[in-house]
Chain A
Amino acid sequence: MLASVKSLFRRQYQEVKAVDGVSFTIDEGELVGFIGPNGAGKTTTLKCLSGLLYPDSGIVSVLGFNPWQRKTEFQKQFALVMGQKNQLWWDLPAMETFILNKEIYEVPNEQFKKTLNELTRLLEVEEILKIQVRKLSLGQRMKCELIAALLHSPKVLFLDEPTIGLDVVMQKKMCDFIKEYNRRYKATIILTSHYMGDVKELCERVIIIDKGKIVFDGKLEEIVEKFAPQKILSVVFSKDFDLRKLEEIGEVEELDFPRAQILVSREASNAAAAELLHHFPVADLNIEEIPIEDVIRQIFSGKKIKSSEE
């Protein structure tokens, strides 16, 4: 009880830097993915780009506008979709919200009809537009939320965790749609997700954020090269032998005879492979990269990727 009475008089708040020194440039038509663990600052960054948050310092420019000023001209050219937030009116059919948005974005009738038809065909939702939103499944709702966001043909699209809560099939459909939208309309798309699947599927360029700082900005493939100084030798053996000798090649990560996975440093991978073939009864050998998911997970947990010297 004493603790409760105290809180009557004073509460303390802590200051947390959500985003710290983040800088990047994105060109028209790019499809960029932001990855990072929860609380890394991805959503905060998107919100600054949308004009929702007021940055304590720094400059933000989207389509030549300062998003914070929320000029109508700017707002008519971009769209924000957030995985768990709704703009559709719950008790009415999605169509009603579409019409409302049409008025808000001042979309001419003809263009509205044309865009609506294209989008409903692409997403296969013709039948559900007249049903109350509360009666739709999560997947159907997300599709309608997307349509509501795209009716004004925005040039820039911010997607925050768009596939969260969706089943695997829906996720794929979403990703296909996003890819198609980017291809067809040359829209610039920034996507945040903590599902690697989305990012691998969609994005050439990836920005990794951790604890509010940018850790990496570049092509997806380069992540592995930059952060994983090792490769995996994936071996299948044909005969039994003293398995301890494998330690001479590199660090044995997994051993389940006749299969094994051995970590070796990147530069030495070819030599190590040759060594293996010479001295051991090998039936099959592959040189592989550490999976991106593992690399990224290790970046976030702050651990150094294991190197063969340790």
Chain B
Amino acid sequence: MPMTNRQIVKYLRVWFKLATLAFKIDLSNRFTAVFAITGKAVRFLFFLGFLFLLVGRTKTLAGFNLSQVVFFFLTFNLVDILIQFFLRGVYHFRGQIVSGDFDLVLVKPINPLFRSLSERIDVYDLMTLIVLIIYMIIFLSTGQITITLGGVVLYLLLIISSFIIGLAFHIGVMAVGILTTEVDNVIMIYRDLSAMGRVPIDIYQEPLRTFLTIIVPIAVLMTFPAKALMGLLSWPWVVFSFVISGVFLFGSLRFWKYALTQYSSASS
């Protein structure tokens, strides 16, 4: 979908307006926010503590030392929160479909995927993201992991590629939602599968490892960027990552187009 400059501006303005509206709603819901943030923070700290406990003793996990394992975990969180921040609308999609309000989204001169995924942007995700990024920079600057400039560039590019794969998954989930109105369970499958990437996927035995690399590329999503930063990712795999993200995105958009032709919309 080639976009003119004017269109890009328009989409940016709409995105900011959506974010502002979501923020205004969230402001009135501070009670929820406190618990949700605390819950996520606690969960993060617990797992981090668990990793320290575990790898601190054994000194190595599938060949990686503690610092590296922690960095894998941090990268997982980065990708996860990044995707959640931009694509939160998927959790409200089912409601839109079932009530039929999605009709009124489809009818507007704005990409329905963009519109639906960008609903309810959570400003607290943004805050979490910033805190996480700051922590990661500090972590890296302590030199526990040797990094090169090339590694950092590759890391950033691969994070973008991971985002694209995540986007493709979400589009796929929404297409399934149109066909079956089943959204929440499917997105949770994605969440659980991607959570397998909390630790380097090298710990998984074959054929699971191959499955997680090629079929459901969690490895590409979570493990590869960190590996690239540490200079542990060979070129074929780097290329593979970009190819896979392109293929998945293309496939998911196709699937979405097909789903729309089958859309029957809630009858009145």
Contact = CB atoms under 8 A, between A and B. Distances in A.
A106 interface: yes
Given A75-B109, A82-B103, A91-B28, A54 B263 contact: yes
A51 interface: yes
B99 interface: yes
Interface in A70-103: 70, 72, 75-76, 78-80, 82-87, 89, 91-92, 96, 99-101, 103
A96 B21 contact: yes
A105 interface: yes
A70 B99 CA distance: 22
A43 B14 CA distance: 30
Contact of A89 (B21, B110, B262): B21
Contacts of A105: 108-109
Interface string A22-55: 0000000000000000010001100100111110
Sorting the interface of chain A by its residue count into under 10, 10 to 19, 20 to 34 or 35 or more gives: 35 or more
B103 A47 contact: yes
Contacts of B24: 92, 96
Interface in B233-268: 260-265, 267-268
Nearest to A86: B101
Nearest to B26: A91
Contacts of A51: 106-107
Nearest to A38: B268
Contacts of B105: 87
A220 B10 CA distance: 45
A85 B99 CA distance: 7
B13 interface: yes
B268 A104 contact: no
Contacts of B17: 99-100, 103
A50 B100 contact: no
B25 interface: yes
A252 to B, nearest CB: 41
Contact of A72 (B13, B21, B109, B265): B109
A210 interface: no
B21 A100 contact: yes
Contacts of B132: none
A198 interface: no
A147 to B, nearest CB: 14
B186 interface: no
Given A43-B267, A84-B268, A100-B14, A91 B106 contact: no
7 contacts: A53-B263, A54-B261, A75-B108, A80-B104, A84-B268, A92-B24, A160-B268
Interface of A: 39, 43-44, 47, 50-54, 70, 72, 75-76, 78-80, 82-87, 89, 91-92, 96, 99-101, 103-106, 160-161
Pick the 6 closest A-B CB pairs, nearest first.
A75-B109, A72-B109, A87-B104, A54-B261, A80-B107, A91-B25
